[in-house]
Amino acid sequence: MNRFRTIGLGLVAAAALTVSATPAMAAPASPAAPVKPAKACPPDVYYKVKSKKQINYWVGRHFVDGKGGKITGRVERSVTKSATLEAGAEASVGAVWATVKANVSKSATKSNTVTVGHWYEHKISKNRYGHLRYRVIGYKVLFEKYRTRGNCKDQFLDAFYGNIPTSKEGWKYWETKKA
């Protein structure tokens, strides 16, 4: 039967030709099954996130107050933005700065420091201690490294953890029976 397939006759047509010699009774020939090319993938290295867990990156002090009452915490942050100049040729910083003041803004400055603060206050339950800490919220991530081989199969290479901060931050409050 394999011989019929290789010359382009389907099994039904081959059976019809062998049973009956009448051409009108023969089923139409079907094309040979297409030959699938061997799989080939370009080599590639990629990473998967296997798991992630939210964690806190503690910033500053750990405040404890109580028994009962109220706990207050404050965080301050100072940020300085400075002017920068890129010059391909020699340039006089004084001359460039005079041009900025005249043509950009009279309120332009070489640097500006801003300090912002945030207060947090929480009532502490009777006979309890209040704990207060400031944090940046992030993730502990388990990464897996893989290679895609030429035969399109993935090969595990390595696993490692990464600590990834986010832009989210804030106070964490909790209570305990003991300080």
pLDDT band for 31, please (50, 70, 90 cuts): low
Reduce the DSSP state of residue 17 to 3 states and report it: helix
Please report the pLDDT score of residue 61 as a whole number.
87
CA distance 107 to 97: 12
Per residue in 62-94, pLDDT tens? 999 999 999 999 988 887 877 776 655 455 667
Domain extents for the chain?
Answer: 1-35, 36-82+99-176
More confident of the two residues 123 and 60: 123
Verdict on whether the full-model pTM lies above 0.85: no
Please check the confidence at residue 7 and state whether its pLDDT lies above 50. no
* HSE (side-chain half, CA atoms, 13 Å) at 32: 11
Tell me which amino acid residue 16 is. A
